[in-house]
Amino acid sequence: MHSFDPGRPGISGPLHADYMPLVYRWRAAHASATRRPLLVLLHGVGGDEMSLAPLIASLPTDLHVALVRGPIAQPEGGYAWYTMQQTGLGLRANADQAEAAREQLLQLLTHLRLAHPFDPRQVYVAGFSQGGVMSASVGLTRPDKVAAIGVLCGRILPQVKWQLAPGGQLSRLQAFVAHGGADDVIPSEHAVDTVHTLAEHRVQLLYRDYPGGHEISAEMAADFVQWVAQRCKLAYRGGAPT
């Protein structure tokens, strides 16, 4: 669920299906002749590659953006990065599917580097809900490929904690973690666990909590956009970042 004003999506062009099973849409930076940062956005379960497109209208224009679609089609519509399984311990993420999606995203980053001109030292991966989960999975295991992660109403999967990169590498990773205090899909205790894990491994962390539920509120969206602009050291649309 997204409660921010959609505004103008700010993206056009074809759906890129040259790297399967993940397809994506691409918004080139305004100054596309030179290398610029890349922001990869990952949707939540039931969404698609356009779910986070409303954020683009507020992002810096000299920033490449890739909107990626999850690999698993949902019976009720939309896509997911992994399914949920009922186990003796309750509802759990399908670990094999989540790992496959992590590997596919890492392979996609390699593909994007060959297909588009961007600065490989400035790759930012962020997402909402399951997309936030996958952002954490990619960044915490391969900080050599990702400079920063955004986890919006997400969490760190238990299996990923066994795959973490060495602390020396993670200390260079930057993270924006945002969560709604009334989230009843991914309860806020998961955000507490995420923050604890990131702090323990010396990730450069900015954490924000909000009064809402499982959604990207207007305030969360604005804070995220500002964080991206600051990380990229680019002009914030409408003024410089504070």
pLDDT in tens, 117-155: 898 999 999 999 999 999 999 999 999 999 999 999 999
Q: Across all residues in the chain, what is the average pLDDT?
A: 88
Write down the pTM of the prediction.
0.89
- DSSP reduced 3-state for 240: coil
User: What domains lie within the chain, and their CATH numbers?
Assistant: 24-232 (3.40.50.1820)
For the cut 90, the answer to whether the pLDDT of residue 1 exceeds it is no
pLDDT digits (tens, 9 = 90+) for 165-213: 987 899 999 999 999 999 999 999 999 999 999 999 999 999 999 999 9
158-167 pLDDT, tens per residue?
Answer: 999 999 998 7
* Residue 77 DSSP code: S
DSSP for 30-50?
Answer: TTTTS---EEEEE--TTB-TT
**Tokens of residue 156, six digits:** 């760190």
